[in-house]
Structure 1
Amino acid sequence: MTVERDGLQNMLADISQLNIHGVIVLNTSRLWRSDMAKVLIQRELKRHQVDVKAIEQPNYSIYAYDPNDFLVNGMLELLDQYQQLEIALKLGRGRRKKAEQGGYAGGGIPFGYKVIKGNKLLIVDDRKAEIVRRLFELKQQNPHWILAHYADQLNKEGYTTDQGKSFTKVQIKRIFDHEPIYRGTYSFGNIEAVGQHQAII
């Protein structure tokens, strides 16, 4: 198992090269988010004789041998994990309810739409929507084309991505995969409902 967070990777690299004695965090849940990550990170810290100082857990130390400190710190970490799981569960319920009503429940925004901050509703992006309509028009006219052909044709007609670059077959597949949304259906996990958003095709 590897720890994927860039900032954490940089910190672990620094302790192996610099003379660091301690790492200061708000609480230990900011440093590791699972028991496996905790074991791996603590092993690396101990290898370089670095301790952890937590502002909200003043007695915390990865070298603690006092049974009371061990018990209190363990309980605090379990409480942090419980709170994170509870928040995730509530967010999940909220997103499912939103999806059941056909509303945008989060995640990647399909090409052709945009989301206004605080609104949480898919809104048609006119420039992108024109490209989506043209692509599905090409698909109807040339159903046997491979993905690269569609990308080449869009590029020949002067259409570009948000970054002003040429379309690739990967981007074309992603747009085709979102066809139900473009037709007005919203799906989230195993939920499918009539969307609150405007259809593009």
Structure 2
Amino acid sequence: MKTRVVGYVRVSTQGQVKDGYSLAYQVEEIQRYCAHHNLELLDIYKDEGISGAKVDEDDLAIERDGLQEMLSDLKWRDVKYIVVLNTSRLWRADMVKVLIQRELRRNQVDVKAIEQPSYSIYAHDPNDFLVNGMMELLDQYQRLEIALKLSRGRRKKAQQGGYAGGRVAYGYKATKGQKTLSVDPVQAETVRRVFDLKEQHPSWSLAQIAAELNQEGYTTVQGKPFSKVQVKRMFMAG
């Protein structure tokens, strides 16, 4: 029986495309590696950050939907490895590395890095001990800060009918210069359909609801198919 794996590819700057790290190149290398090592490649998750938006090279200032979806799917996908060209596709900063590795360990998944054949997240790294300690302190600090400042202020604004900033829930839109949100009619129709599907098929998983949305022709704001992560966000916002 073949070992089941998923792949992950990422391009964060236009320069990386020129330097040979294009998504297509990474995909081909992963497919070739899996075929050569008799691995069953279930899926390849992708993130491309070259749309013109400023990208933080430490991976701390951008959202990577492909990475988040992959980490979420590990809870139900029975895979042993994530295959990448090299570990810099997953992380660059030590803090990001520790956070991702936490999720991988929870799901008993390791990393296969094509350009780093001996790499394993379970190999001892002295730097990780220090960073883990720092992250635990940072987690505590952020929880206190959010509890004492951010959440209180945003909750008060929301209670007064105002827009408190941050990500706008799917189904609404924020107009520049205004302090209130308005309903986006197209997105609102998608949200209604999500709740209808859940009511009609209470046993369906998030992935099944996402698949049905895609089958019916619904798309995200970016015109892409829905994932289970995005469906979950709609339920949480509702």
Return the TM-score normalized by structure 2: 0.36
- Tell me which of the two structures has the higher relative contact order, counting C-alpha pairs closer than 8 angstroms and 6 or more residues apart: 1
Larger gyration radius, structure 1 or structure 2: 1
